Amino acid sequence: MGYGTKELSEAKSGDSFDLLGPIGTGFPLDAAQDKKQIILTGGGIGAPPLLQLARALRRTGIGKDSITAVLGYRSMKSGLFLNEEFSAEVNVILSTDDGSVGTRGTVVDALKERDLKPDIIYACGPLPMLKAVKDFAADSFIPAFISLEERMACGMGVCLGCMVKTAGRDSHSHVNNARICTEGPVFNAEEVVL
């Protein structure tokens, strides 16, 4: 996608990088405690963070039966990225654009097809998917946490290059904006305007 990913893709075992982190917010694990049906929805580059979330939730003592990952892919042909790793941790439901496996359509189509009524949703993936998950959660009065993505220059809240519109005004500068790198990347879905 760019200079950073190119450099990472060419890294060899033993190479070293300077990293700054953790920065920003993570998925709140406490929001899932005592919930019977926890849904993780994602696709593409949203899948790896959700796998880590699945493992973190399991480590808090939540059973496999209470967590379902709804994963969206293009097609069986292009591969089911991390499907096996998710299956080791949680229940898995699939959707594909072409219907070659699972529900034909989006992750929200898969949720609706099964008439699932989650107690909480965590989502990470492309913006159209996050928007659909946000709308689905709002329509069904389900708490949802979504991880947004933006190109980031500083990553520390200084350059204001990663803004997202928010429903409320911030108390400091009284604008309807938040920095994805600092107030996010994980937001309560109802707090942001997509």
CB-nearer residue toward ligand FES: 106 or 147: 147
CB-nearer residue toward ligand FES: 24 or 125: 24
> Shortest gap between Cβ of 8 and ligand FES (angstroms)?
19
CA separation, residue 7 to residues 49, 98, 150 (Å): 21, 33, 19
Q: Which of 138, 160, 167, 175 binds ligand FES (CB under 6 A)?
A: 160
179 binds ligand FES (CB under 6 A): yes
Q: How far apart are CA 159 and CA 166, in angstroms?
A: 18
Phi, psi of 77, deg, nearest 5: -65, -35
137 binds ligand FES (CB under 6 A): no
Q: How far apart are CA 5 and CA 87, in angstroms?
A: 28
Q: For the chain, give the number of residues.
A: 194
161 binds ligand FES (CB under 6 A): yes
> Shortest gap between Cβ of 150 and ligand FES (angstroms)?
7
Q: How far apart are CA 135 and CA 182, in angstroms?
A: 24
Q: Which of 154, 166, 176, 191 binds ligand FES (CB under 6 A)?
A: 154
28 binds ligand FES (CB under 6 A): no
